[in-house]
Structure 1
Amino acid sequence: MTPLLDDAMKRLESALSLLEASVSRRTDADKSRGGLETELQLMQDDRARLAVELDGALTRLHRFEAATEDVSHRVRQAIGEVQSVLAGAGQRDEGEE
């Protein structure tokens, strides 16, 4: 072969090697991006599931708080009633003496 042809072949081989390396990097990047997209989708699914669970927990918490407030109110009323009964009984005992 002529030196000019040899030089052209070397440049062609070099260009092909660069192209193969570029294609390989692009293929790896596409695979990586596919993995990242899958991971992102899984994270979004987890986020949605956690949001639903949080809403349920908040609903239960509000119900619990309402029930606690109701029980607290009833206990205060019962204490008041017991105190009234005891005070009445104390007055009766004092009147009998």
Structure 2
Amino acid sequence: MSDDATLREVLDRLARAIDALEAAVDARLEKESDFSEAEAEVQRMGADRARLAQEIDKAEARAERLAEVNREVSRRLVTAMETIRAVLDR
């Protein structure tokens, strides 16, 4: 083999190695980009979850207040009906 042929082979191997390295770097950067996007989505989902949890807490508190008001209205209606019956019975 001549020195020129050997040099060409070495340069070809070097070019292939550089191409492989560039491909590996590109793949790594793409994976990191995908990871960043996934991480951002997880953060958005966490924020949505926190917001929804707050809304559920507010809705539960409102439902409890409505239940209390309902019980009070029922109690007052029973009292009013008993008073009306007592007046009618006299």
Q: TM-score, normalised by structure 1?
A: 0.81
The match for 2:59 is 57
Deviates more, 1:33-42 or 1:57-66: 33-42
After superposition, the CA RMSD in angstroms is: 1.3
Over 2 Å off, 4+ runs: 1-5
Match of 1:95 in 2: none
CA shift, 1:62, in A, is 0.3
Question: 1:7 aligned to 2:9?
Answer: yes
C-alpha distance in 2, partners of 1:83/1:4? 116
Shift of 1:4: 2.3
Q: Within 5 Å, give how 1:30-69 maps onto structure 2.
A: 30-69=32-71
Q: Which amino acid aligns with 2:58?
A: G
**How many Å separate the matches in 2 of 1:5 and 1:15?**
15
Deviation at 1:74, TM superposition (A): 0.9
Which deviates further from its counterpart, 22-31 or 77-86?
Answer: 77-86
Task: Say which one has the larger Rg.
Answer: 1
- What is the CA–CA distance in structure 2 between the aligned matches of 1:7 and 1:77, rounded to whole Å? 103
**Residue identity in the other structure for 1:38:** A
Once the two structures are TM-superposed, the CA of residue 10 in structure 1 deviates from its matched residue by 1.5
Report Cα offsets for 1:16-38 as digits up to 9, x if no partner: 11110110111111112112111
